C-alpha cells in the first residue's frame, strides 16, 4: 500500500510539473508572438520633417501597434551620428545624407523613398508688419535693410541660403548682421525673443513655432527646396516595421498632413 501511495504521489508531482512546463512554454510563445506583431522603432529624423512625423506617428502606432521613439536634429548631425555607429531603424534625412549612408552600407538602398519637400521662408516675430518680398529684387532689398538675420550654419536651409546670398552678390554686406546658429531652434528662439529680425528656415519649421510667423516664402526665382528622404537601417532587426512606417508616411492619406505642415510632394 505504501509503495502504491508513493507511486501515486510521484505521478501527481509529475503531472503538476508537466502542467507548469506547458504553462511556461505557452507564455514564452505568446511573448514571442507579441514581439513579432509589434516592434519598437528608433527613428532619426531631420527637423524639417518633425511637424509631419509628430502628427503621423501616433496614428501609425494606433494602426499598427508598433511604437516609435523619434529623435530629431540637423540632418548633417544625424548623419554623423549614424556614421559613428548610433543604432536606429529608420532615418528621414536629406537626399545627400541618405545617399551617402547607402553608399557606406548604413541604409538599405531598396528602402529609399522621397517623403516631401519644403520651400525656404523668412520668419519674423508674430505681429511684425508685413513687407513685400514677392520678387527677387524686393527679397534682396528686405535682406539688406534688415538689422539682423539668423540661419543654421550646418542646416540644409542655412547651407542653401549661404549659397544664395553669394549668388546674389550680397554675402559680404550681410556678414556683419548675420548670426550663424547651431540649430534651427536657435534661429526661432532669436526671432521670437526679438533679438533677430529675420530668420531663414524651411516653411515646415516655422509654422509650428508659437510667437513666430512667416513673413513670406522665398520668391520662385531664388527659392530652394529642402527635400526629405527616408530609409531603413541595413542593420535593423525591425526592417519590416520600418518599411511599414515609410509606406505609411508616403501613402496618399498622409498628403493632407504634409500640406498642412508646410510641405509638398
pTM of the model: 0.83
Calculate mean pLDDT across residues 126-143. 95
Calculate mean pLDDT across residues 9-33. 42
Q: Report the C-alpha gap between 204 and 259 in whole angstroms.
A: 9
Do 67 and 83 belong together in one domain? yes
Q: Has residue 153 got a pLDDT over 70? A: yes
Rounded to 5°, angle at Cα 64 from 26 and 238: 75
Do 110 and 237 belong together in one domain? yes
Query: What is the reported pLDDT for 6?
Result: 52
Query: What is the reported pLDDT for 140?
Result: 97
C-alpha cell at 112: 529609399
Query: What is the reported pLDDT for 38?
Result: 80
Do 77 and 128 belong together in one domain? no
Here the CATH number for the domain that contains residue 127 is 3.40.190.10
Task: Collect all residues with Cβ–Cβ distance below 8 Å to 163 and sequence separation of at least 6.
Answer: none
Do 133 and 108 belong together in one domain? no
Query: What is the reported pLDDT for 30?
Result: 37
Closest CA to 159 of 262, 84, 258, 74: 74
CA 265 to chain centroid, in Å, comes to 16
Do 94 and 216 belong together in one domain? no
Do 171 and 94 belong together in one domain? no
Query: What is the reported pLDDT for 10?
Result: 54
Which has more confidence, 8 or 187? 187
Do 157 and 205 belong together in one domain? yes
Report helix, strand or coil for 43. strand
List, for residues 48-85, the tens digit of each pLDDT value: 999 999 999 999 999 999 999 999 999 999 999 999 99
Which has more confidence, 137 or 1? 137
Residue 26 inside a domain? The answer is: no
Calculate mean pLDDT across residues 210-232. 97
Q: Given pLDDT bands bounded at 50, 70 and 90, which one contains residue 24?
A: very low
Do 70 and 58 belong together in one domain? yes
Do 141 and 169 belong together in one domain? yes
Q: Report the C-alpha gap between 261 and 265 in whole angstroms.
A: 12
Query: What is the reported pLDDT for 25?
Result: 36
Do 112 and 236 belong together in one domain? yes
Q: Report the C-alpha gap between 130 and 227 in whole angstroms.
A: 27
Query: What is the reported pLDDT for 37?
Result: 58
Range with the lowest mean pLDDT among 16-25, 117-126, 179-188, 234-243? 16-25
Q: Has residue 21 got a pLDDT over 90? A: no
Domain tally for the chain?
2
Closest CA to 221 of 114, 153, 140: 140
Calculate mean pLDDT across residues 7-15. 51
Phi-psi region of 150 (alpha: psi -120 to 50; beta: other; left: phi over 0): beta
Q: Which domain holds residue 214?
A: 118-225
Q: Report the C-alpha gap between 113 and 99 in whole angstroms.
A: 11
Q: 249: which strand partners?
A: none
Amino acid at each position: 500500500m505504501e509503495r502504491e501511495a508513493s507511486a501515486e504521489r510521484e505521478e501527481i508531482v509529475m503531472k503538476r510539473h508537466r502542467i507548469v512546463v506547458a504553462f511556461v512554454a505557452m507564455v514564452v510563445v505568446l511573448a514571442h508572438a507579441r514581439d513579432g506583431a509589434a516592434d519598437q522603432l528608433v527613428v532619426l529624423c531631420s527637423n524639417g520633417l518633425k511637424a509631419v512625423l509628430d502628427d503621423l506617428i501616433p496614428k501609425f502606432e494606433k494602426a499598427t501597434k508598433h511604437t516609435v521613439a523619434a529623435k530629431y536634429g540637423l540632418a548633417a548631425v544625424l548623419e554623423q551620428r549614424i556614421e559613428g555607429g548610433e543604432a536606429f531603424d529608420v532615418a528621414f534625412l536629406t537626399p545627400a545624407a541618405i545617399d551617402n549612408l547607402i553608399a557606406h552600407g548604413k541604409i538599405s538602398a531598396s528602402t529609399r523613398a522621397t517623403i516631401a519637400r519644403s520651400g525656404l521662408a523668412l520668419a519674423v516675430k508674430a505681429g511684425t508688419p508685413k513687407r513685400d518680398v514677392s520678387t527677387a529684387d524686393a527679397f534682396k532689398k528686405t535682406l539688406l535693410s534688415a538689422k539682423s538675420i539668423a540661419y543654421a550654419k550646418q542646416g540644409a536651409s542655412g547651407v542653401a541660403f549661404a549659397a544664395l546670398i553669394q549668388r546674389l552678390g550680397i554675402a559680404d554686406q550681410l556678414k556683419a548682421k548675420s548670426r550663424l546658429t547651431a540649430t534651427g531652434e536657435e534661429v526661432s528662439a532669436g526671432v521670437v525673443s526679438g533679438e533677430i529680425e529675420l530668420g531663414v528656415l524651411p516653411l515646415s519649421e516655422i509654422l509650428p513655432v508659437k510667437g513666430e510667423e512667416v513673413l513670406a516664402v522665398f520668391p520662385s526665382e531664388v527659392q530652394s527646396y529642402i527635400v526629405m528622404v527616408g530609409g531603413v537601417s541595413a542593420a535593423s532587426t525591425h526592417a519590416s516595421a520600418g518599411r511599414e512606417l515609410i509606406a505609411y508616411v508616403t501613402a496618399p492619406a498622409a498628403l493632407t498632413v504634409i500640406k498642412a505642415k508646410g510641405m509638398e510632394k
